[in-house]
Amino acid sequence: ASGVHHHATDDFDGDGLSNFQEYLAGLNPTNAASAQLATIPRPGTIQWQAKAYELYEIQSTTNLAAPVWTRFGTPVEPTNADISVRTNLFAAPITATVSNLPMTDPQTFFRVFKVP
């Protein structure tokens, strides 16, 4: 689209991500509610909104002051979805879940990294 705040480097919906970053992540750059969020619904499990057939990896660190991020496991390729999503995989988001995260350190931080 054209107009105010519709350029690739703008943030039309004010969620902190540029329109181009949201486009690459498969999010809606005109809707702040579509911002990429990762949640931990229970210990050892992480969920995030994913695009079908994109590769993601989970990274962890125990120190946010001087982080050294290490990859956990192999990259994740979300392909499973409910029937309404399977009818048009690129029109609706998939909630990706990884549930075997190591919880050996009481202060472990995780992030989801989209593999280019």
Segment 63-108, tens digit of pLDDT: 999 999 988 877 877 665 444 444 444 555 677 788 878 777 778 8
Q: For residue 62, what are the contacts with CB-CB under 8 A and spacing of at least 6?
A: 105, 107, 108, 109
Residue 52 burial by Cβ neighbours in a 10 Å radius (0-12, 13-18, 19+): buried
Q: What is the pLDDT of residue 4?
A: 67
> With bands split at pLDDT 50, 70 and 90, how would you rate the model's confidence at 112?
confident
Give pTM, 2 decimals: 0.62
Res 84: pLDDT: 41
DSSP reduced 3-state for 57: strand
- Region 28-38: mean pLDDT is 78
